[in-house]
Structure 1
Amino acid sequence: MRHRFNEPGSEDPLTFAVSERDRGTLEMVRDALAAGNVMLAYQPVVGVATGQPAFYEGLIRVLDDTNRIIPAGQFMGVVETQELGREIDVAALRCGLGALSRHTSLRLSINMSARSIGYPKWIQVLKRWLTRDPTIGERLILEITETSAMLVPELVKTFMAELQDKGITFALDDFGAGQTCFRSLKEMYFDIVKIDGSFVRGCDKTPDNQCILEALIAVGRTFDMFTVAESVESRAEAQFLAQAGVECLQGYYYGAPETKPAWMTPEGRGTPVAAQKRSG
C-alpha cells in the first residue's frame, strides 16, 4: 500500500514540518517588525595591539509575542531571500544609526545583504540620518557577506563607490565561506575583511585551518584590508591568530552580544575609535 505522503501533490511529514516551521518564523518576524519589537545586541571587536574594542558589531534581534529575544541566526535563513529580509536590514540600520547618534564615541558595524542595495526604504533611512548628522557616516561600518556580495559584484562596487564620500567603512563578512572572485574583490572598496568563524574555531590545533587562515590573512594584506577573525572562543585561538597577523578579534572569548552593554549606561565609558580606513 502506498503511503499518502508519496502521492502526487502531497508533502511528506518532514517537508510539511519544515514548511510549517518556516511559515511560523515568517509570521513571528513580520509581527515583530510591525510592532517595532526589534533591537541590536552589541559585540566588541577587540584590537590585538590595544586589547580594547576597536568597534562593535550590532546584531539584529527580534522579540516574539512573549518578549523572548530571538537571535538573527534563528530567522535570517528563512527571510534573507524575501522582502522581509530587506525590512530586517532596514530595521537593523535604523537601530544602528540611532545608537551612533546617541553615543558619539561609538564606532559600529551593521549587517546588510547585497540584496538590500537599491531597496528604497533602506537608502532613505541612511540618507535621512546622514543629512541630520553627517559625522555618523564616519563611524558607520557596513558589513556585506561574501556570499551575497559575489552574487552582484558590479552592483556592490557601484554602491560602495557612491558612499565613499560619506566616510562609510565597508567590511566583507564571512570571508572564506563563499566563492570570491579575486578580480571583483580587487575592484571593490572593502576596508575590512572578517574571516569566517569556521576557520577560526580550533585554529590553535588544526593544521588545515591554520593553512587556510594564513592564506586568507595574506589575501587581506594584499588588498590592504584590515583583518578581523570571527568566533574566537579561547585564549589559545586568540594567541594563534595574533601571532598569525590578524589585527582584530571577535567572539565569545571577548564578550557575548549584549542588548544593554555597559557603555550604554550613564556610568559606562565611551568606546574607542575603530580601525582606520585603507588608503586609496
Structure 2
Amino acid sequence: MMVQNTSPAMNAPPTVLPAWVAIALAATGDVVYELDLNQGTITWHGEIEKLFGPGMTTVTQMKPRRFYQMIHSNDLSLRINAIESHMSSRTAYDCEYRIRRHDGLFVWVHDRGMAECDAAGQPTVLRGVIRSIHQRKQTEAQLTHRASFDELTGHFNRQRLRDRLQDSLKQAQRYGHFGAFLVIGLDKLSLINEAYGHDAADTVIVRLGQLLEAQTRVSDSIGRIGGDLYGVVLPRCSPDKMGVVADKILRACRDAAVETNAGRLQVSVSIGGVTFPGMSQSAFDIMTKAESALHQAKGRGRDCFIEYHQSDEQMEAHRSHMEIGHSVVEAIKEGRAMFAYQPVVDSQTAKPMFYEALLRLRSPSGELIPAGKFIPAVEHVGLARLVDRHVLEMAVEDLMANPELSIAMNISGLTVAEHSWLRALIGKLQDKPDVARRLIVEITETEALRDIDESARFVQAVRDLGCKVALDDFGAGYTSFKHLKALEVDIVKIDGGYVRGIHENRDNRVFVHSLIELARTFGLQIIAECIEEEAEANHFREEGVQFMQGYFFGKPEVGVPKI
C-alpha cells in the first residue's frame, strides 16, 4: 500500500535519519533513498561508496536522470515497470537490476520501496532501500554454469549434451534428415594417471577437447560425458560424413603430442558412432549404441572407429519393444496400470513400516504383468518419462487419499536426468509437506553412478521437498565412500542377489557386511530386500539391519493396504 502524508508542507526537506538507523545501514551495506517527485531529486543515506564505487563518497543527492543512466540498459525497463505497477496496485515495488558503478563495473542490486502520497492521493515521494546482491548473483551464475558445463574442460556435461542430442533427434525425425553421434574415448588414460599423475591426465583431457573443437563444425556440440569420454553431436550428418569426421579426429590425435608438466605425451583415442534417427527413439538410446560401438573399437586394438550396426536379432528385439511400448501406453490410457504393494517391515517386530508400490499392468485378458516384463522395452523406446509421470500421479493420489500410508516408488534411471519429472514432483508436493514426508523415491545404484553429479543434484532436490531417497540394488554398482558422500541418500537397499542364500555363502556375507558398515558410517537406514527364508531374515537381524522386505514377509498385493 502507499503511505498517505497529510502534512501541509509540500516540499519538506529530506529526512534526517536517526543515528541508530545510520549505524544499521553501515553494518548491512544497504543504501536508503528518497526521490522527491516535486523537486526531481534523489537523496541518498548510507555508505553509498560501497554501492556506487570509489569517488561517490561526497554525493548525497542526484537527479533521477543521472541514476537512470547508471542502470543497465537491459534492466531499466524492469525497474520502470515495477514502479508503474506499484502506482496502480499500491503494493510495494520489488525488483533486481544491474547498475554501473563509478569505476565502470556493473553490480547487481535489489531495490524495494513504496510511494508516499499527499492528501489528494498523488505520489510525492518514493522511498526505498537498495542492497547489493552481486555475490548471490555470481553464485547463482556459477551454479547454473556447473549444472550444464564440465568444470575441467568448459564443455557441456553429460546431461546438457544429452539435451542437445535429443533436440537434434527431434529435428531429424521432423525433417527427415540424418544426424550422427560420436563417443570418443582416450586410450589407457589410467596408465597416464598412474605414471605421471592427475595433472598430466587432466591436461590430456583438456587437450583432447581442444582437438575436437578444431575438427568439428560450429554447429556441432561437444561434451565431456565421462572421466575419459567425450561425446559429439553432429546435426545434419550422413553415415559417410560421420566416418570422415571420425577419421579426422583419429589423425589429429595421432599427430598431436600433448605438452604436460611431465613432458610430451603421445595419446590415441577410440571412437564409436551411430547415425539417427534410424530405430533410435531417444537420446539415451543413441548414446548407449555409440558407447557400445566404442567398446567394440577398444576391443579391436584401440585407435580406430567403429560404427554401430543393428543385427537381425537386435532389429527384431526393437520391433518387439515397440509393440510392448504401444501396449503400455494403451494400458495407461485405459486405466489398467496399478500398484501392487509389498510391505517393508521392521526387522525386530516384522511390523510393516511402509510399502513399496510396484507398478503392474493388467492385460486385456486380465493377466497381471509385472514391471520387469515391460520396463526394459519402455526405456528402449523412450517412454520412461511417460510411465514415470503416471507412476508419480498414482503415488500422490494414493498418499493423499490415505493419510496413514507411506510408500516407496521406483523411477527409471532415465528419469533422474529428466528435469521435467522433477518439476512435476515439485509442483505436486511443494505445498504438501505431509504427503512429501511419506514418499520415498527409489533410484538404482548403477544408474546413479552413471552420472554422479547429476544424480546428486536430483537427490538434493527431492530431499529439499521433504521426501526421502533410497538407493536400490546397493552393492550392484560398487558404490564407494566418495559416491555415498556425494549422493546423500537416506536409505540403501542391499541388492537381492547378495541376500538370497546369504547364510550359505561366505563371500556374500563378507561383502554385505562391508556394505552395511559403509552405510552405517553415513547414518543411513538399511533395507535387506528379497528375503525368502527365515535363515536369511535371522542373518540380517543379527547384522542389525533396520528393515527387511521379501516374500517371507509378504507378497505384493494389488490395492492399497489396510493400515
TM interval, shorter chain, is 0.7 to 0.9
Q: Does 1:220 align with 2:527?
A: no
Distance 1:11 1:158 in 2: 37
Pick aligned residue for 2:472 from 137, 149, 173: 173
Pick aligned residue for 2:531 from 232, 242, 252: 232
Query: 2:395 is matched with which residue?
Result: 96
- The secondary structure found in structure 2 opposite 1:190 is coil
Residue type of the partner of 1:83? Answer: G
Say if 1:43 and 1:258, in contact at 8 Å, map to a contact too: yes
Deviation >6 Å, runs of 4+: none
Deviations 1:178-212 (A, max 9, x none): 24243122122211000000000001111121111
Query: 1:256 is matched with which residue?
Result: 555
Deviations 1:6-55 (A, max 9, x none): xxx9955x556534432322221122223332111100001112320111
Say if 1:25 and 1:78, in contact at 8 Å, map to a contact too: yes
- The secondary structure found in structure 2 opposite 1:204 is helix
- The secondary structure found in structure 1 opposite 2:450 is coil
Distance 1:224 1:234 in 2: 27
Distance 2:535 2:347 in 1: 14
Residue type of the partner of 2:410? Answer: N
Residue type of the partner of 1:66? Answer: S
1:90–1:71 CA distance, 2 compared to 1 (3 A) = same
Identity of aligned residues (%): 36
Following superposition, the deviation at residue 159 of structure 1 comes to 2.1
Residue type of the partner of 1:29? Answer: V
Distance 2:404 2:342 in 1: 16
Distance 1:126 1:19 in 2: 31
1:118–1:16 CA distance, 2 compared to 1 (3 A) = closer
Q: Root-mean-square deviation (CA), in Å? A: 2.1
Distance 1:15 1:212 in 2: 36
Query: 2:277 is matched with which residue?
Result: none
Distance 1:78 1:106 in 2: 31
Residues 48-127 of structure 1 correspond to what in structure 2 (within 5 A)?
48-117=347-416, 119=418, 121-127=420-426
User: Where does structure 2 lack aligned partners over 5 or more consecutive residues?
Assistant: 1-308
User: TM-score of the superposition, structure 2-length normalised?
Assistant: 0.43
| Number of corresponding residues | 255
Distance 2:541 2:478 in 1: 26
Deviations 1:247-277 (A, max 9, x none): 11100111111112541xxxxxx2xxxxxxx
- The secondary structure found in structure 2 opposite 1:80 is helix
Following superposition, the deviation at residue 118 of structure 1 comes to 5.4
1:221–1:211 CA distance, 2 compared to 1 (3 A) = same
Distance 1:243 1:10 in 2: 50
Which of the pair has more CA radius of gyration?
Answer: 2
Distance 1:44 1:58 in 2: 9
Query: 2:435 is matched with which residue?
Result: 136
Following superposition, the deviation at residue 235 of structure 1 comes to 0.7
Query: 1:153 is matched with which residue?
Result: 452
1:227–1:84 CA distance, 2 compared to 1 (3 A) = same
Following superposition, the deviation at residue 120 of structure 1 comes to 5.4
Distance 1:190 1:143 in 2: 10
Q: Which has the higher contact order (CA 8 A, sep 6+)?
A: 1
Pick aligned residue for 1:203 from 499, 502, 512: 502
1:17–1:166 CA distance, 2 compared to 1 (3 A) = closer
Say if 1:57 and 1:110, in contact at 8 Å, map to a contact too: yes
1:129–1:240 CA distance, 2 compared to 1 (3 A) = same
- The secondary structure found in structure 2 opposite 1:83 is coil
Following superposition, the deviation at residue 115 of structure 1 comes to 2.1
Query: 1:37 is matched with which residue?
Result: 336
Say if 1:200 and 1:230, in contact at 8 Å, map to a contact too: yes
Say if 1:150 and 1:181, in contact at 8 Å, map to a contact too: no
